[in-house]
Amino acid sequence: MIHFVLLISRQGKVRLTKWYSAYSQKERTKVIRELSGLILTRGPKLCNFVEWRGLRVVYKRYASLYFCMCIDEDDNELEILEIIHHYVEVLDRYFGSVCELDLIYNFHKAYFILDELLIAGELQEPSKRTVARLVAAQDSLVETAKEQTSSITNIIAQAAK
Amino acid sequence: MNPFSSGTCLRDMIRAIRACKTSAEERAVVRKECAAIRASINEDDQDYRHRNLAKLMFIQMLGYPTHFGQMECLKLIASAGFPEKRIGYLGLMLLLDERQEVLMLVTNSLKQDLNHSNQYIVGLALCALGNICSAEMARDLAPEVERLLQFRDPNIRKKAALCSIRIIKKVPALAENFINCAASLLKEKHHGVLITGVQLCADLCKVSSEALEYFRKKCTEGLVRTLRDIVNSPYSPEYDISGITDPYLHIRLLKLLRILGQGDADASDRMTDILAQVATKTESNKNAGNAILYECVETIMSIEDDGGLRVLAINILGKFLSNRDNNIRYVALNMLMRATTLDAQAVQRHRATILDCVKDSDASIRKRALDLLYLLVNDNNVKPLIKELIEYLEVSDQEFKGDLTAKICSLVEKFSSEKIWYIDQMLKVLSEAGNFVKDEVWHALIVVISNASDLHGYTVRALYRAFLTSTEQETLVRVAVWCIGEYGDMLVNNVGMLDIEDPITVTECDAVDAVEVAIKRHTSDLTTKAMALIALLKLSSRFPSYSERIKDIIVQNKGNVVLELQQRSIEFNRILQKHPKFRSALVERMPVLDEATFSGRRAGSLPTAISTSSGAPSNLPNGIAKPATAPIPDLLDLSSDDVPAPSSSGGDFLQDLLGVDLSPTPAPSGADMPPKASTDVLLDLLSIGMPLPVQTGLSASDILSSSQDDKAPFVNFNGLASLSSLSANATSPANAAPMMDLLDGRGPGPQKSEENGQAYPSLVAYESSSLRVMFNFSKQRGSPQTTLIQATFTNLSSNVYNDFLFQAAVPKFLQLHLDPASSNTLPASGDGSITQNLKVTNSQHGKKSLVMRVRIAYKTNNKDVLEERQINNFPQNL
């Protein structure tokens, strides 16, 4: 299972963290610090796996962002690379050629998409189209709710006049 | 409207934070935002609640504390609308972890949402539950999740399946409720549901053997069919990844088949065909294909198989290993490691490639390859492999050297068929990477050298040569110094020259120079310097003509700030000056170190044989060290944790040497120190006259051995010199009690303990079915506040207790002092006991009586046992 997902920028800034195993806030900070030290310093041609505290961290760099997932020793590292790529493709489809800024300003969207992809550290949906469809459906639910509230406020405002 | 909460929107805040040039600026912005959010929370402002929470999540990601927002999550989750719930659940997963008690409060909302009519809200609740649920929540909500496994919408079913995984991991007892639903998920067509269903089955098998049996019987056939369908399925754009339809599903099916096939020949047999098909047909030019092959190989390796498939699997790994992609090579090494137990011969074929991987530029690959190579070494290939590894040691990265050195040392030790080869290889390692060599490794080397009597000359010359070329490696210096000290005469006279050796001329002066270099080099640490001092003392008798010079070097350390060195320097100087007569006997070559004792000790067991040899040399005159074999095994024992053994054996030995008969101490129970304590006393006596900060209770042997007890017995040896005069005029050696008092600082003058002691009845302080603790009390005259307690521990069970540890705590008005226990092993069924002395000073004497909390820890049958007890029933007026 995936213990956690991290997105770290090349400067070591955290862009997304998702924890599927229990780590206290203090441990989380420590983990992030340790791993950014380990991963950001690795050269470009090396393999995408780092052994860390008896676990493996699979990472892949896309532009300025490192996508890292921590897994058990007996998990399939190559598959995790595919899952990372899967996530990146869904993000790309959602934002339309995604960049780091998209993930900064719409970090909650990145989380929503991840939640449609992984639950309890396991893969949930292999189809990118289904993920995109589900996220879009929920986004439109939010939009309708917003429109409703604004129309209600309008009505109230008009009535108050 | 609240002026604070209207503040900035999320985007503005992020922009403001990103605009910060320094982290101080960033902190200021965050502080301001947090203040605004707090104010808004206090106002219970509903309109901006979700915006506040979104901001908090961002702030949390930057690493700032956000606990004050936790309750807001719960409020949002409890609100009716989907947007609020969506943010609320996200916040719940981000800001809380499963160990927080706040989480319990959300159980009810979750339950409602799991039954909500809006499927997206159900989805949110399932997702949150799957990501952070605790064991209690799992128990409370399992029925809801179970029901949702049959929900009409497949997207809810797949979420429920993953959520179930979390639940059964938290509470394995719930597994049986899920078996049937999970089995029905395997028949689904929707890939999401199928993937999660297969995963759920795999996890069920891990926690429940019942589930494993069930799936093995009912589902193996179906799973094989599903896998065949997916392998042979035509192109489907929705699930296609580089030409393969849904590799994720492939991998999960293979994984579940592995679990079902493991240990069951019948099930294994049913899946061989499809496994062979996957192994041969899958394209290996893309990562997705390789991931499937990798999983397939692992399944083939794990199931019960006739061997045909295994050849296929090993071949795939061979291909992986020669792949240029580092990722593929990494997983190949990983897999070969597991394959070694199945087919070591097949893996051996790839040895050369693996050796190349050890030298790879990628740290992850190097580590994997080294671990694998370690398993591949055997008697036939050890020599060339070690040669390669040692050569590589010269050029390897600093951070890799530690690992590499440890592995080489371990291999050399394991496969040392000839001593000379072992010594040669170890010397190479020491001169290449001595700083990475662990203490026990060079200790073992010294033991081996000591045992190889025909190689003494060869070794000391080789070490001398290595020492001349490099003094960077601490452990090399130590071993060299030790050998020069021991076998200095062989170094100079070329004794035992082997044919393979180059002749070398070393003068006595050179040998002394070498040791002097070791003691003066500024990087030498305390151990090395202390060893060098001993070596010098030894050389002084080997090379009498250099005695004066050696004395000068030794005297230079007289004012050393390190107590240990200062002490040795003064002591050795004294031996050189005052006692030339028995100096040579004192510093004779060490008897052969006992390998069995040493390896036994390394394995962690205390050698019981040590003190047995002390009987023989009982009536020898002072200072003749030769027959005293007992303390020698201690020489190499650097770990100070087993101090009791060395000190007691040292004590026995001294006792014998001096003819001091300590055992019949003329005191009854009251002041009856256990034998161990009296030997400490002797050791204490030995160190009189030195500026030792002797504290009561901490015996001198402890002090000596605290930093390096390897040479502690030596100190005893030379201490004998001063003792001989001391024991003559101080007290008659037959009476040990006064000596005790002398050292414990309780004032001189013999006292009769019979006068006290009996005034207080003994107390059974603690008794359980397994252990009895007796306290005997005595008082010293003149100090009514102080009570001496002798605790006696008796084992009432039929098992031996190891690592026995007694601890006690007292309230502030008492002062407690614990002496070391007589042993840490308590024999079974009352067959012997441990005693330990306690000294309690009661500052409220006469007003309050003693009270104590004790804790007893020990190991029996490899289990740790801890017993605790408060003792209130002390006799009054103690």
Whether residue A40 contacts residue A64, with contact meaning beta carbons closer than 8 Å, is answered with no
Whether residue A41 contacts residue A61, with contact meaning beta carbons closer than 8 Å, is answered with no
Q: Please give the Cα distance from B589 to B485 (Å, whole number).
A: 9
Give A60 or B45, the one with higher predicted confidence. A60
**B245: contact with A, CB 8 A cutoff:** no
Please check whether residue B230 lies inside any domain of the structure.
no
**B81: contact with A, CB 8 A cutoff:** yes
Classify B201 as helix, strand or coil.
helix
Contacts of A78 in chain B (CB under 8 A): 287-288, 290-291, 294, 327-328, 331
**A134: contact with B, CB 8 A cutoff:** yes
Interface A-B, measured as beta-carbon pairs within 8 A, has a size of 161
Q: Is B90 in contact with A45 (Cβ distance < 8 A)?
A: no
What does the pLDDT average to over A33-37? Answer: 92
Residue A111 has pLDDT above 90, yes or no: yes
Number of domains in chain B: 2
**A150: contact with B, CB 8 A cutoff:** no
**A33: contact with B, CB 8 A cutoff:** no
Which pLDDT band holds residue B123 (cuts at 50, 70, 90)? very high
Q: In what order do the strands lie in the sheet with A49-52?
A: A14-19, A2-9, A65-71, A55-62, A49-52
Residue A114 has pLDDT above 60, yes or no: yes
Looking at residue B293, its pLDDT comes to: 92
User: Measured in whole angstroms, how far is the alpha carbon of residue A64 from the centre of its chain?
Assistant: 15
Listed range (B49-63, B191-205, B518-532) with the worst mean pLDDT: B518-532
Percent of chain B with pLDDT over 70: 80
Distance from CA of A125 to the nearest CA of B (A): 5
Looking at residue B604, its pLDDT comes to: 52
Enumerate residues 103 to 132 of chain B having a beta carbon within 8 A of any beta carbon in chain A: 120, 123, 126-127, 130-131
- For the record, the structure tokens of B318 come out as 């061979």
Q: Please give the Cα distance from B646 to B633 (Å, whole number).
A: 9
Nearest to B288 among A82, A125, A145 (CB): A82
- Measure Cα distances from A30 to A33, A56, B354, B441 in Å: 5, 16, 34, 34
Distance from CA of B8 to the nearest CA of A (A): 14
Whether residue B869 contacts residue B854, with contact meaning beta carbons closer than 8 Å, is answered with yes
Q: Is B90 in contact with A111 (Cβ distance < 8 A)?
A: yes
Which pLDDT band holds residue B548 (cuts at 50, 70, 90)? confident
Residue B807 has pLDDT above 90, yes or no: no
Residue B531 has pLDDT above 50, yes or no: yes
> Residue B811's domain is classified under what CATH number?
2.60.40.1230
Please check whether residue B140 lies inside any domain of the structure.
no
Looking at residue A61, its pLDDT comes to: 93
Distance from CA of B409 to the nearest CA of A (A): 23
Domain-ending residue, one of B582, B602, B622 = B602
**B61: contact with A, CB 8 A cutoff:** yes
pLDDT in tens, B226-235: 999 988 888 8
In the block, tokens 């104590």 appear at: B852
**A17: contact with B, CB 8 A cutoff:** yes
CB-based contacts of A131, cutoff 8 Å, min separation 6: A90, A113, A116, A117, A125
Enumerate residues 78 to 117 of chain A having a beta carbon within 8 A of any beta carbon in chain B: 78-79, 81-83, 86, 104-105, 107-108, 111-112, 115
Q: Please give the Cα distance from B660 to A158 (Å, whole number).
A: 110
Whether residue B247 contacts residue B241, with contact meaning beta carbons closer than 8 Å, is answered with yes
Looking at residue A89, its pLDDT comes to: 93
Give B375 or B124, the one with higher predicted confidence. B124
**B54: contact with A, CB 8 A cutoff:** yes
Residue of B nearest to A75 (CA): B295
Contacts of B90 in chain A (CB under 8 A): 108, 111-112, 115
Please check whether residue B830 lies inside any domain of the structure.
yes
Listed range (A125-134, B93-102, B319-328) with the worst mean pLDDT: B93-102
Classify A64 as helix, strand or coil.
coil
Please check whether residue B423 lies inside any domain of the structure.
yes
User: Measured in whole angstroms, how far is the alpha carbon of residue A94 from the centre of its chain?
Assistant: 13
Look up residue B820 and give its DSSP letter: P
Please check whether residue B160 lies inside any domain of the structure.
no
How many residues are recorded in chain B? 878
pTM over 0.80: no
Contacts of A125 in chain B (CB under 8 A): 155, 158, 191-192, 195
Q: Please give the Cα distance from A53 to A135 (Å, whole number).
A: 35
Whether residue A96 contacts residue A27, with contact meaning beta carbons closer than 8 Å, is answered with no
Contacts of A104 in chain B (CB under 8 A): 14, 18
**B62: contact with A, CB 8 A cutoff:** yes
Which pLDDT band holds residue B750 (cuts at 50, 70, 90)? very low
**A12: contact with B, CB 8 A cutoff:** no
Q: Please give the Cα distance from B338 to B186 (Å, whole number).
A: 30
Region of B500 on the Ramachandran plot (φ > 0 left; ψ -120 to 50 alpha; else beta): alpha
Domain-ending residue, one of B574, B602, B630 = B602
- For the record, the structure tokens of B616 come out as 């023989």
Q: Is A50 in contact with B63 (Cβ distance < 8 A)?
A: no
pLDDT in tens, B498-519: 777 777 777 888 888 888 888 8
Q: Please give the Cα distance from B338 to B353 (Å, whole number).
A: 17
User: Measured in whole angstroms, how far is the alpha carbon of residue A40 from the centre of its chain?
Assistant: 18
Interface test with B, best of A124, A135, A149, A150 (most B CBs within 10 A): A124
What does the pLDDT average to over B457-469? Answer: 84
Terminal Cα distance for chain A, rounded: 59
Instruction: Return the axis-axis angle of helices B644-658 and B712-729, rounded to nearest 10°.
Output: 40
Residue B491 has pLDDT above 50, yes or no: yes
What does the pLDDT average to over B454-480? Answer: 83
Whether residue B757 contacts residue B871, with contact meaning beta carbons closer than 8 Å, is answered with no
Residue B18 has pLDDT above 80, yes or no: yes
Contacts of B94 in chain A (CB under 8 A): 17, 111
- For the record, the structure tokens of B340 come out as 């070694």
Classify A121 as helix, strand or coil.
coil
pLDDT in tens, B395-430: 777 778 888 888 888 888 888 778 888 888 888 888
Q: Indicate the pairing of strand A118-119 with strand A65-71.
A: unpaired
Nearest-CA neighbor of A143 among B122, B125, B83?
Answer: B83
Residue of B nearest to A44 (CA): B362
Please check whether residue B569 lies inside any domain of the structure.
yes
pLDDT in tens, B293-305: 999 999 988 888 7
Structural domains of chain A sorted by starting position, each given as residue range(s) with its CATH number in brackets? 2-160 (3.30.450.60)
Whether residue B870 contacts residue B853, with contact meaning beta carbons closer than 8 Å, is answered with yes
Looking at residue B161, its pLDDT comes to: 93
Residue B365 has pLDDT above 50, yes or no: yes
Nearest to A126 among B62, B159, B248 (CB): B248
Please check whether residue B475 lies inside any domain of the structure.
yes
Nearest-CA neighbor of B563 among B521, B515, B518, B530?
Answer: B530
Looking at residue B66, its pLDDT comes to: 86
Please check whether residue B437 lies inside any domain of the structure.
yes
**B327: contact with A, CB 8 A cutoff:** yes
Q: Is B287 in contact with A137 (Cβ distance < 8 A)?
A: no
Q: State the sign of the Cα–Cα–Cα–Cα dihedral B840, B841, B847, B853.
A: negative
Residue B87 has pLDDT above 50, yes or no: yes
Q: Is B248 in contact with A83 (Cβ distance < 8 A)?
A: yes
Listed range (B287-291, B295-299, B757-761) with the worst mean pLDDT: B757-761
Task: Name the residue range of residue B792's domain.
Answer: 760-871
Residue B625 has pLDDT above 80, yes or no: no
Residue B626 has pLDDT above 60, yes or no: no
Q: Is A51 in contact with B166 (Cβ distance < 8 A)?
A: no
**B159: contact with A, CB 8 A cutoff:** yes
Q: Which helix (H) or strand (E) holds B206?
A: helix B191-207
Highest-scoring range by mean pLDDT, A4-8, B317-321, B524-528? A4-8
Whether residue B459 contacts residue B497, with contact meaning beta carbons closer than 8 Å, is answered with no
- For the record, the structure tokens of B39 come out as 């104010």
What are the b/e assignments for B446-464, b being 16+ CB within 10 Å? bbbbbebeebbbbbbbbbb
Q: Is B196 in contact with A122 (Cβ distance < 8 A)?
A: yes
Domain-ending residue, one of B568, B602, B636 = B602
What is the per-residue DSSP string for B640-675?
GGGTHHHHHHHHHHHHHHHT---SS-S--GGG---H
Query: How many CB atoms are located within 10 Å of the residue B731 CB?
Result: 17
- For the record, the structure tokens of B603 come out as 């394995």
Bridge partners of A71, per DSSP, are A2, A56
Give B447 or B643, the one with higher predicted confidence. B447
Distance from CA of A121 to the nearest CA of B (A): 8
Query: How many CB atoms are located within 10 Å of the residue B358 CB?
Result: 25
Contacts of A108 in chain B (CB under 8 A): 54, 57, 87, 90
Q: Is B165 in contact with A120 (Cβ distance < 8 A)?
A: yes
Q: Is A124 in contact with B239 (Cβ distance < 8 A)?
A: no
Nearest-CA neighbor of B158 among B133, B114, B127?
Answer: B127
How many residues are recorded in chain A? 161
Q: Indicate the pairing of strand A49-52 with strand A122-123.
A: unpaired
Interface test with A, best of B70, B129, B136, B330 (most A CBs within 10 A): B330
Whether residue B495 contacts residue B483, with contact meaning beta carbons closer than 8 Å, is answered with no
Looking at residue B601, its pLDDT comes to: 64
Distance from CA of B247 to the nearest CA of A (A): 8
What does the pLDDT average to over B382-402? Answer: 81
Summary mean pLDDT of chain B: 76
Residue of B nearest to A129 (CA): B238
pLDDT in tens, B128-153: 999 988 888 899 999 999 999 988 89
